[in-house]
Structure 1
Amino acid sequence: MLFDLPDHDALYQALLHRDDRYDGQAYVCVATTGIFCRLTCPARKPKRENCQFFGSVGECIEAGFRACKRCHPLQPMADADPAVATLLAALDQRPEYRWSEGDITRMGFDLSTVRRSFKRQFGMTFLEMARQRRLREGFTVLSDGGKVIDAQLDAQFDSPSAFRAAFARLLGQAPGSLGRDSLLLADWITTPLGDMIAVSSRTELHLLEFVERKALKSELARLQKAVKGDLGIGSAPPSEQIRCELDAFFAGTSARFDTPLAYHGTPFTQQVWDALRQIPPGVTRSYSDIAREIGRPDATRAVARANGANQIALVVPCHRVIGADGSLTGYGGGLWRKQRLLDIERQYLTSANQLD
């Protein structure tokens, strides 16, 4: 079970006092330095407004932060597993290198063992950690109007072909084919629970997914087909709006999403998504609950399929649907993320009850 983090103020006070009760259960990420630390770190304390707090090292890494070299927050994981220690050290020495399974094997490690170890400790594999660190930089350069070669160099890919291949795996197209005047524009959004891809037209948000979601490539392919391949890269008003709304959501100030949405689904599927949006933050429903609410009590399985087909994460809150027995059910962004989202949203339920 994941540790239920206290609020921001309590964690900031723990940071100021170097409270060791949170060691290993909470970490601080500093926006101005791009570094994450233990709360017991001896470094000078950052300003409150520059701090974000997460419950795991994996969340810090996925949000784009590097480990502090004074308090070494990765050290307990490295001490627990020699393979993790060796590979983390290798990644720090060669962050620009395009790591492969062959490299891991040549270092004398079993691939399946390494995969399990990194998944357990960080919620991602070693290769995912290395690739995401590099690819984010390239995406940002392209989104800002930079050239492909500049994006490749910023992402520290040794060859143009490697960069094109990595980009094509993410968006389904090589970076050179992505313009800035397309009907749909893909944007990169960093959140405390990991990086997301937002795809927007000038007026509506069409997709919002975590970058490692397995269905992302097929979802993007369907969108590209709908606009005859006219997918580009850059920021549009809906992606800017959802970025601000996500910032407010994770900061604990608002769980309201007003960004205009474009649904891509059957009338029944869209009806389910509308029903999901009626579930208040901090509240959960089962598939059968949703089926009854839309007047189709015999359509529980169809509701589950519609739930899984959602491609606008968080805004259409499919994470609020759980099993009839109260257990967490499948979530494309990962069950650990689903649990964290539900934990985050409890504060909104508490706030609503206090207002009542």
Structure 2
Amino acid sequence: MKDDTIYYKALVEKDKSFEGIFIVGVKTTGIFCRPTCTARKPKQENVEFFATTKDAILKGYRPCKVCHPMENLGDTPEYINKVIELLDKNPSIKLKDYDLRQMGIEPSTIRRWFQKNHQITFHAYQRLHKLNTAFKKFQTGISVTDTAFDSGYESLSGFNDSFKKVFGVSPSKSKTQNIVDLMRLETPLGTMVACATDKGICLLEFTDRKMLETELKHLAKSLNATIVQGHNKHFDLLKEEIGKYFEGSLTEFTVTLDTVGTDFQKKVWEMLLKIPYGTTVSYQQQAHAINNPAAVRAVANANGMNKISIIIPCHRVIGTDGSLTGYGGGLWRKKRLLDLEKKKLMQ
């Protein structure tokens, strides 16, 4: 089928997999929309498709007020960032509805956002964030009693009960348990989730990746850890370098990584790190590079198990015929990343 026919079918079905691939302009209204717009669908003869919002604007269309095509899908709203930043600075506080309204935030709105994006309530997020901070204090030798009251708990028993429900062990036995920090990260290609241990970044994925939940469970099991929202010393450099990468001013990452996988997978990922910025290799070439030319399928599977997108650049691996084959973040993102790097090299 021609692209227009495929795109129109995706538009009618509100197919999320086409987000980022096309923008649709509606001739009868002068509006342009994203593929998943919930507005009433126009007839096929009344639409035209564009690769970017810029193309639609240059053609005279204006953005839809229903689907907001000018915004990155899944972006964290500024008021959420404001709340998270406040909790990061003072984990012991407990924000109630009154406090949120004083900040100009409707409590029901923030509750819906946390439920939709994290599958937990805002109250649960605050509790987890507080316990995450407490866990780290234990690692530095601070006593359970001091930590409990510093964290805003009114009783030691209440703190012990809450801690055990989250981490599965009492505070005094938590030395045997590990923790993985998690944060959301905004990029021009959508929101990502990053995870880190004390050793380095162990996950960086787009939030709409289908395997994300499975990857998080694998991390927790492999590291004997609980994954909790919280700050990590590696996150600041990660945000800085990801930002520079998308600006086109960074071609090599220096942020420390803590890869979690089998010995074979790690060998494959190490080879990925050696693929120069702006270039591509085939799966066959990748298999030869690790001295195992017969392992093309195994190499492809290992690429698919890579949990650290962009930095470990599995997007630079393509089919032998030059086609853009599988990519967990979506083929449209793979194309955007390769186009970004090629454009930088041509400057």
The DSSP-based 3-state class of the residue aligned with 1:213 is coil
Relative to structure 1, the CA distance from residue 247 to residue 164 in structure 2 (aligned partners, 3 Å threshold; closer, same or farther) is closer
Q: Distance in 2 between matches of 1:130 and 1:197?
A: 15
Q: Distance in 2 between matches of 1:331 and 1:282?
A: 17
**Counterpart among 117, 120, 125 of residue 175 in structure 1:** 125
Match of 1:297 in 2: 293
Question: What's the offset of the Cα at 1:133?
Answer: 5.0
Question: What's the offset of the Cα at 1:143?
Answer: 4.8
**Is 1:138 equivalent to 2:116 in the alignment?**
no
The DSSP-based 3-state class of the residue aligned with 1:338 is helix
Relative to structure 1, the CA distance from residue 264 to residue 139 in structure 2 (aligned partners, 3 Å threshold; closer, same or farther) is farther
Match of 2:226 in 1: 230
Q: Answer whether contact 1:200 1:207 (CA < 8 A) is retained.
A: yes
1:112-261 correspondence to structure 2 within 5 Å = 126=67, 132-133=74-75, 137-138=79-80, 141-145=83-87, 147=94, 158=108, 162-169=112-119, 174-179=124-129, 180-181=132-133, 183-228=179-224, 230-261=226-257
Q: Distance in 1 between matches of 2:72 and 2:343?
A: 34
| 4+ residue segments displaced more than 6 Å | 107-110, 117-122, 127-131, 150-155
Relative to structure 1, the CA distance from residue 304 to residue 159 in structure 2 (aligned partners, 3 Å threshold; closer, same or farther) is same
Q: Answer whether contact 1:199 1:208 (CA < 8 A) is retained.
A: yes
1:61-140 correspondence to structure 2 within 5 Å = 77=24, 79-80=26-27, 126=67, 132-133=74-75, 137-138=79-80
Q: Kindly provide the CA deviation profile for residues 267-304 of structure 1, in whole angstroms up to 9, marking residues without a partner as x.
A: 00010000000000111011111111101111111111
Amino acid at match of 2:289: E
Match of 2:172 in 1: none
Between the two proteins, the alignment pairs up a number of residues equal to 255
Amino acid at match of 2:83: V
Question: What's the offset of the Cα at 1:230?
Answer: 2.6
Question: What's the offset of the Cα at 1:135?
Answer: 5.9
Structure 2 unmatched runs, 5+: 1-18, 54-65, 89-93, 136-178
Q: Distance in 1 between matches of 2:317 and 2:200?
A: 25
Percent identity over paired residues: 32
**Structure 1, 190-199 or 145-154: larger mean CA deviation:** 145-154
Amino acid at match of 1:190: E
**Structure 1, 252-261 or 279-288: larger mean CA deviation:** 252-261
**Counterpart among 316, 331, 334 of residue 335 in structure 1:** 331
Relative to structure 1, the CA distance from residue 132 to residue 346 in structure 2 (aligned partners, 3 Å threshold; closer, same or farther) is closer
Structure 1 unmatched runs, 5+: 1-57, 60-75, 89-100, 352-356
Q: Distance in 2 between matches of 1:217 and 1:156?
A: 29
Amino acid at match of 2:277: P
The DSSP-based 3-state class of the residue aligned with 2:238 is helix
Q: Distance in 2 between matches of 1:77 and 1:155?
A: 33
Question: What's the offset of the Cα at 1:77?
Answer: 4.4
Q: Distance in 2 between matches of 1:213 and 1:121?
A: 22
Amino acid at match of 1:321: V
Question: What's the offset of the Cα at 1:145?
Answer: 1.2
Amino acid at match of 1:175: Y
Q: Answer whether contact 1:187 1:198 (CA < 8 A) is retained.
A: yes
Q: Kindly provide the CA deviation profile for residues 178-230 of structure 1, in whole angstroms up to 9, marking residues without a partner as x.
A: 32425322122222222221111233111111122222222122223345553
When normalised by structure 2's length, the TM-score is 0.60
Amino acid at match of 1:330: G
When normalised by structure 1's length, the TM-score is 0.59
Question: What's the offset of the Cα at 1:231?
Answer: 2.2
Q: Answer whether contact 2:185 2:191 (CA < 8 A) is retained.
A: yes
The DSSP-based 3-state class of the residue aligned with 1:132 is coil
Question: What's the offset of the Cα at 1:331?
Answer: 1.2
Question: What's the offset of the Cα at 1:239?
Answer: 1.2
